[in-house]
């Protein structure tokens, strides 16, 4: 082990972690506003990756240009899923029911993806996927840098929307307290639907980067959703800043462990950190202290 390798893994971790942070932000936004845990987030990422794949292989559209098609497509998919299924969830066990519903949705999508694309692993290709640039003696793949830039742009856009627009104010009001938000005239139903759409739409971008950096098939979604769930629990469920910090932190630590102790331990370290953090801070790093829920 040497200093360069460690530095390299930290830089890699921050670059790829930002993409996970983007996908986790979508997940935590949905939880915060709607009290729904969308376990289909993993399969939506893969759906996004396959859409990019189809566009680039069959129509020759560049991966980043293709986002102009895949992001709106997944936004619409999200809205359709929310309207068709999630609005029907009733009863006191809303969170559990939402997990079951979104899991069922993800099974159906997994089956369809397997039928259309087969279960063979595929990878996304473009000129910037396999080339690297040398910075201070470290080789950085272009795709990592581009993915980082994209994640920063999209996260900034999301933050500007949430903190600088009227719609964003309604979203944050719904995050804080749905009943009060409804009382001051916010259409919580509409806010929820759009948030679900947005939360799913970011997976198109995340999926493209994921597909360019990993070989994937439909069952890769299980690996993804387990990481994303750990990230949002660690950051504090419903905390947008928490998802960002936890996403970058977790992936960086995972990369570091892979370099220092070997890749077998890196997956486990991810969960070990969760266990340690939760025993010290059960509400997560940035979570609100759990309040009594009637």
Partner 1 sequence: MLRVRNVWWIVALAAFVLFPLIETNPTWTTIGIFALIFMGCATSWNMFSGYSGYVNLGSAVSYGVGAYTITLLADHLNVPGNGDLFWLVPVGGLAAMIIAIPVGLIALRVRRHTFVVITIAIFFVFQLSAINFSFTGGTAGLQLPLIPWLETNYNKPFYYAALAIAVFAVLLSVAVRRSRFGLQLLAIRDDEDRAAGLGVKVFAVKLVGFTMSAFVVGMGGALYAIFIGQIYPQFVFDPIFDISIALMCIFGGLGTLTGPLLGALVLESTQQYLAIRFSNGSLYLIIFGSLFLVIVLFMPQGIVVFLGDWRSRRKARLAEGARVVLGEAS
SS3 (DSSP) at 92: coil
Which residue, 142 or 222, is less far from partner 1 as judged by CB? 222
**Burial call 50-83: b when 16+ CB within 10 Å, e when fewer:** bbbbebbeeeebebbebbeebbeebbebbbebbe
Q: What is the DSSP secondary structure assignment for residue 128, as one 8-state letter?
A: T
Alpha helices in 37-177 (DSSP H): 41-58, 63-84, 94-117, 142-164, 166-176
Which residue, 49 or 234, is less far from partner 1 as judged by CB? 234
* 111 scored as a contact of partner 1 (CB under 8 A): yes
d(CA 65, CA 227): 27
Q: What are phi and psi of 59, to 5 degrees?
A: -110, -5
Residues in 39-68 that interact with partner 1 by CB under 8 A = 39
Name the minimum Å distance from CB 245 to partner 1.
Answer: 18
Of 66-74, 123-131, 195-203, 229-237, which part binds partner 1 (CB under 8 A)? 229-237
Residues in 19-38 that interact with partner 1 by CB under 8 A = 35, 37
Name the minimum Å distance from CB 282 to partner 1.
Answer: 5
Crossing angle of helices 188-213 and 3-34, in 10° steps, is 160
Which residue, 72 or 282, is less far from partner 1 as judged by CB? 282
Which residue, 179 or 279, is less far from partner 1 as judged by CB? 279
Q: Are 117 and 57 in contact, with CB atoms under 8 Å apart? A: no
* 226 scored as a contact of partner 1 (CB under 8 A): yes
d(CA 240, CA 245): 9
* 104 scored as a contact of partner 1 (CB under 8 A): yes
Tokens of 87: 């609005």
- Pick from 24, 51, 201, 232 the residue near partner 1 by CB under 8 A: 232
* 230 scored as a contact of partner 1 (CB under 8 A): yes
Q: Footprint of partner 1 on this chain (CB under 8 A)?
A: 35, 37, 39, 85, 88-91, 93, 95-97, 99-101, 103-108, 110-112, 114-115, 222, 226, 229-230, 232-233, 237, 264, 267-268, 271, 274-275, 278-279, 282-284, 290, 292-293
């Amino acid at each position: 082990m040497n200093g360069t390798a460690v530095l390299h893994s930290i830089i890699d971790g921050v670059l790829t972690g930002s993409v996970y942070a983007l996908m986790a932000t979508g997940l935590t936004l949905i939880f915060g506003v709607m009290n729904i845990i969308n376990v289909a987030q993993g399969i939506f990422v893969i759906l996004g990756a396959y859409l990019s794949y189809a566009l680039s292989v069959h129509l020759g559209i560049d991966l980043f240009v293709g986002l102009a098609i895949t992001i709106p497509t997944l936004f619409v998919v999200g809205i359709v899923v929310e309207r068709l299924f999630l609005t029907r969830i009733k009863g006191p066990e809303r969170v559990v029911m939402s997990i079951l519903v979104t899991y069922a949705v993800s099974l159906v999508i997994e089956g369809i993806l397997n039928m259309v694309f087969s279960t063979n692993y595929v990878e996304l290709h473009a000129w910037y996927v396999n080339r690297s640039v040398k910075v201070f003696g470290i080789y950085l793949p272009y795709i990592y840098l581009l993915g980082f830039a994209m994640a920063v742009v999209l996260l900034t856009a999301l933050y500007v929307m949430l903190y600088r627009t009227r719609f964003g104010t309604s979203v944050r009001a719904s995050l804080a307290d749905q009943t009060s938000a409804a009382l001051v005239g916010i259409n919580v139903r509409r806010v929820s639907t759009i948030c679900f759409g947005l939360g799913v739409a970011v997976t198109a971008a995340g999926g493209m980067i994921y597909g360019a950096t990993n070989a994937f098939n439909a069952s890769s979604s299980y690996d993804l959703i387990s990481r994303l769930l750990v990230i949002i629990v660690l950051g504090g469920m419903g905390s947008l800043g928490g998802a960002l910090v936890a996403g970058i932190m977790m992936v960086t630590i995972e990369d570091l462990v892979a370099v220092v102790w070997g890749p077998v331990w890196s997956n486990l370290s991810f969960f070990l950190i969760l266990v340690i953090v939760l025993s010290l801070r059960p509400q997560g790093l940035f979570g609100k202290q759990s309040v009594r829920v009637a």
